[in-house]
A = this chain, B = another copy of it.
């Protein structure tokens, strides 16, 4: 039995990702997504302006949360401590739906050149959001850029482990993302 009851918005996202995997992003219509989700087209349009917006909406929220966590970290936090605060803030917004979606999204991206481009843009824009939030704290450019990239790597590696592991477990994304960040911090000492 499902551990969560998805609402219309969540069902639309899951239906879209499944259809993108099955038949490609280009070939999938809003009508098909709505039908698969068991809602009307007008319900779709109450939640999303179009098919593309369905993918972009999550990215903008994520970038905002990462940046907010960084901005609100204690004044004496190091750059990576601020990134950790951003990861915690963003992770708190990722629930069971995001966890279940992980492997499906991965399959959809693997199957579509267009979704690979969108996924790459997402990585780059999240790094830019974190870099800008760090720069606003007075972190110098190269350090901010590097810490932003570490933040994205940690989020992606943590999310992959969280969503590909035991999805019935009761653990949050935050622990995985912070462990990945710590692993990357340790790795930075062996770059040579």
Contact = CB atoms under 8 A, between A and B. Distances in A.
Contacts of A81: 192
A145 interface: yes
Number of copies: 2
Interface in A103-120: 116-120
A124 interface: yes
Contacts of A191: 78-80, 143, 146-147, 150, 185, 188
Nearest to A128: B120
B153 A146 contact: yes
A183 B144 CA distance: 12
Interface of A: 77-81, 116-121, 123-125, 140, 142-143, 145-147, 149-150, 153, 157, 180, 183-188, 190-192
23 contacts: A77-B192, A78-B191, A79-B190, A79-B191, A117-B117, A117-B118, A117-B120, A117-B121, A119-B124, A121-B121, A124-B124, A140-B190, A142-B186, A142-B187, A143-B187, A143-B190, A143-B191, A145-B157, A145-B187, A146-B149, A146-B187, A146-B191, A149-B149
